[in-house]
Amino acid sequence: MKTESKFTAKQVGDRIRERRTELRLSMNDLGERLGVNKSTIQRYEANGVDPKKTYMIVSLANALETTPEWLSGLSDAKEYDNYTICKKAIDEHISAYLYEMTTTISGEGHQQLMNNLLGEFIDLYSILCCHFARAMTEADRIAEDEGLKESIRRYAIEIGDVIQKSYVKEMEAPIEDMKRLLDGILHLYDNGRTSVKMSDLFSIKEQARERLNEISESNDSVTP
């Protein structure tokens, strides 16, 4: 969070009171969230909080379910946008992963290997998200196409069946890519026929990206 706030400490205190009232929290309620007593909350609201005290501002913002930027006067956006909400949730998962990885796996080489494989998995998942977006766009189009609905009724076909087939067609390849990566990790130290090269694992993402780009380019070429 930036600290170049134009707010005074008193203005921060006013926003603490405003947000607490909006959430219908008593001073005791807010105090419990912060681990302080009611008199401390009274002091925050009456005397204010220095907007440059980043740690305190962030703690207050979390307790008040708002953004540190709004609380300190850097922004008028009171609610977190969806990107920030998603990032906060993912950060918790990443922190848990880093703790488990660094405390249970010995050796920098082994840790780096798992870190690299997680990166590949995340990249593949992001490609899967692109396919999911395409699948949902097509599902919405099918659901809203009255002409198509009328046509398939003649053959006693449910619109849901058409959507399901469209979804599976779009999602099958990216799901298989993720399965290939996980299966490759399982056979990483095999000998003989089932052995997997590290380079083969890291090429899965590139192949998946190329396939997605080809689909996008093909669709662009037929768009009027």
- For residues 8 and 1, give the distance between their C-alpha atoms in angstroms, rounded to a whole number: 17
Compute the average pLDDT of residues 3-19. Answer: 88
Compute the average pLDDT of residues 152-177. Answer: 90
Reported confidence tier of residue 166, pLDDT bands at 50, 70, 90? very high
Element (H, E) at 32: helix 27-34
Contact present, 125 and 178 (Cβ < 8 Å): yes
Specify the pLDDT at position 214. Answer: 92
Contact present, 166 and 142 (Cβ < 8 Å): yes
Specify the pLDDT at position 82. Answer: 85
Compute the average pLDDT of residues 66-92. Answer: 88
Specify the pLDDT at position 109. Answer: 95
Quote the tokens at residue 176. Answer: 């298989």
Lowest mean pLDDT of 10-19, 53-62, 151-160, name the range: 151-160
Specify the pLDDT at position 153. Answer: 79
Compute the average pLDDT of residues 80-102. Answer: 90
Contact present, 11 and 57 (Cβ < 8 Å): no
Compute the average pLDDT of residues 175-201. Answer: 94
Q: Where are the alpha helices (DSSP H) in 145-197?
A: 146-153, 159-186
User: What is the CATH number assigned to the segment(s) 9-80?
Assistant: 1.10.260.40
Of 191 and 5, the one with more pLDDT = 191
Give ranges for CATH 1.10.260.40 in the chain.
Answer: 9-80
Contact present, 155 and 149 (Cβ < 8 Å): no
**209 has pLDDT over 60:** yes
Widest distance between CA atoms in the chain: 73
Specify the pLDDT at position 159. Answer: 85
- For residues 93 and 95, give the distance between their C-alpha atoms in angstroms, rounded to a whole number: 5
Of 129 and 143, the one with more pLDDT = 129
Reported confidence tier of residue 163, pLDDT bands at 50, 70, 90? very high
